């Protein structure tokens, strides 16, 4: 059973209903001690106010979402992405985030060259990593399910993400999101390989059928992922951090009373995670 004191909620889970201020207050009201923050909501709230609200409510910030999106059609576009990732590092530092999560990006423009996109991702991370290291902000590559390879992330497995970590060195780790990696026959082995490089653990469920590639994630217990088993592997690898509920659900959870959503996250994470 997951420890309820280590529950975090990614604010994407209530993004349709709540601002950052409302999410911080709402999660705290239900005694949830962790939150992952999105940059658009952070910008809307303002840096000083966001930092003060998080501190006043004693929230651990389990991640800032997100950096990444490195591939570009020309050098100027790629440099703009690197600059934006540096700003994301600054924002993560401002709110004391435990890591900056990277959604690395897919194929630029009309490209059909996924190998080159992956090289651009490698080069982009290599270019921003010294800045993150200097700021002491850990950077978490989040491998995304291969259905997103074209438009969101061409790093699709834990093995691929860890190869980048091996190559690029300290300051870089992985975010393990069960939604993206549950299907991977290598998963147990790659989680063990990751060890202390696991910087975040994201939970939700894979619905059958899934009706939307992006916005139809399920609440824990409503789908086919053995979340508790994966959590066991992650903990066996040495991870002691929070488990972060992250649910994009346009037609279901985003339409519900957000207090009900939070209560359900708590109950389901105890039962199924």
- DSSP for 201-241 reads EEE-B--SS---TTTBPBPTTSSS--HHHHHHHHHHTT--S
- Smallest separation, CB 124 to Zn ion (Å): 19
Query: Which residues contact Zn ion (rule: CB under 5 A)?
Result: 177, 202, 246
β-partners of residue 173 are 140
Listed residue (62, 39, 86, 81) closest to 177, CA to CA: 62
The dihedral built from the CA positions of residue 101, 11, 176 and 147, taken in this order, carries a sign that is negative
d(CA 37, CA 119): 28
Q: Phi and psi for 189 in degrees, rounded to 5?
A: -65, -40
Which C-beta is closer to Zn ion: that of 152 or that of 202? 202
Which C-beta is closer to Zn ion: that of 91 or that of 246? 246
Which C-beta is closer to Zn ion: that of 13 or that of 120? 13
- Smallest separation, CB 84 to Zn ion (Å): 19
d(CA 177, CA 273): 13
- Smallest separation, CB 144 to Zn ion (Å): 8
CB 246 within 8 A of CB 233: no
- Smallest separation, CB 142 to Zn ion (Å): 5
- Smallest separation, CB 246 to Zn ion (Å): 5
Which C-beta is closer to Zn ion: that of 13 or that of 72? 13
- Smallest separation, CB 203 to Zn ion (Å): 9
Which C-beta is closer to Zn ion: that of 111 or that of 146? 146
CB 262 within 8 A of CB 30: yes
Residue position matching structure tokens 């999560």? 101
Which C-beta is closer to Zn ion: that of 33 or that of 152? 152
**Three-state secondary structure of 67-94:** EECCCCCCHHHHHHHHHHHHHHHHHHHH
Give the tokens for residue 135: 């700021």
Which C-beta is closer to Zn ion: that of 177 or that of 205? 177
Listed residue (236, 204, 241, 240) closest to 223, CA to CA: 204
- Smallest separation, CB 81 to Zn ion (Å): 20
d(CA 104, CA 203): 20
- Smallest separation, CB 242 to Zn ion (Å): 13
Which C-beta is closer to Zn ion: that of 13 or that of 85? 13
């Amino acid at each position: 059973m997951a420890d309820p004191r280590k529950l975090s909620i990614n604010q994407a889970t209530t993004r349709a209903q709540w601002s950052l201020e409302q999410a911080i207050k709402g999660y705290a009201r239900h005694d949830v001690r962790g939150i992952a923050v999105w940059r658009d909501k952070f910008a809307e709230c303002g840096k000083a106010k966001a930092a003060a609200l998080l501190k006043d409510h004693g929230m651990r910030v389990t991640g800032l979402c997100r950096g990444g999106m490195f591939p570009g059609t020309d050098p100027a576009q790629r440099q703009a992405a690197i600059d934006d990732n540096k700003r994301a590092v600054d924002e993560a530092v401002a709110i004391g985030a435990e890591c900056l999560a990277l959604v690395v990006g897919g194929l630029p423009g009309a490209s059909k060259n996924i190998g080159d996109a992956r090289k651009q991702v490698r080069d982009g991370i290599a270019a921003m990593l010294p800045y993150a290291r200097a700021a002491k902000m850990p950077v978490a590559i989040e491998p995304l399910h291969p259905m997103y390879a074209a438009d969101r992330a061409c790093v699709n497995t834990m093995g691929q993400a860890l190869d980048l970590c091996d190559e690029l060195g300290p300051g870089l780790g992985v975010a393990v999101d069960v939604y993206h990696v549950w299907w991977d026959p290598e998963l147990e082995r790659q989680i063990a390989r990751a060890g202390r490089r696991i910087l975040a653990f994201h939970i939700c469920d894979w619905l059958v059928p899934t009706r939307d590639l992006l916005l139809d994630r399920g609440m824990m217990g409503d789908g086919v992922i053995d979340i508790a088993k994966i959590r066991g592997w992650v903990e066996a690898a040495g991870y002691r951090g929070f488990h972060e509920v992250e649910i994009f659900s346009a037609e279901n959870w985003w339409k519900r009373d957000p207090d009900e959503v939070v209560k359900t996250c708590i109950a389901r994470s105890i039962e199924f995670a």
